Amino acid sequence: MSKSWYPVIDYSLCKECGACFNKCKNGVYEKKENHPVVVYPDGCVEGCHGCQNLCPVGAIQYVGDTTGKDDCGCGCCC
């Protein structure tokens, strides 16, 4: 089964603040130099917007997201 929900970062917007990397406890991100890199998309929880909600520049979107920037209510790490 392929993963249907995971973050994608727009590096043209990212300011390398580290908020997404520091927020997610599921191993989705690794920090390479100062860039957050999605290395484990399978760890992302479907419906979670935790890192997107913290991103100050709107650089995070999700594959599979059709709802926009809503409160997720998923109960994971938001």
For residue 17, give every residue at least 6 positions away whose Cβ sits within 8 Å of its Cβ, in sequence order, or none: 55, 56
Among 58, 38, 44, CA closest to 2:
44
Rule CB under 6 A: say whether 18 interacts with ligand SF4: yes
Rule CB under 6 A: say whether 65 interacts with ligand SF4: no
Binding-site member from 17, 37, 61, 63 for ligand SF4 (CB under 6 A): 17
Cβ atoms of 74 and 47 within 8 Å: the answer is yes
Q: Count of residues binding ligand SF4 (CB under 6 A)?
A: 28
Supply 47's token pair: 């419906």
Q: Contact residues for ligand SF4 (CB under 6 A)?
A: 7, 9, 14-20, 23-24, 26, 28, 36, 44-45, 48-51, 54-57, 59-60, 76-77
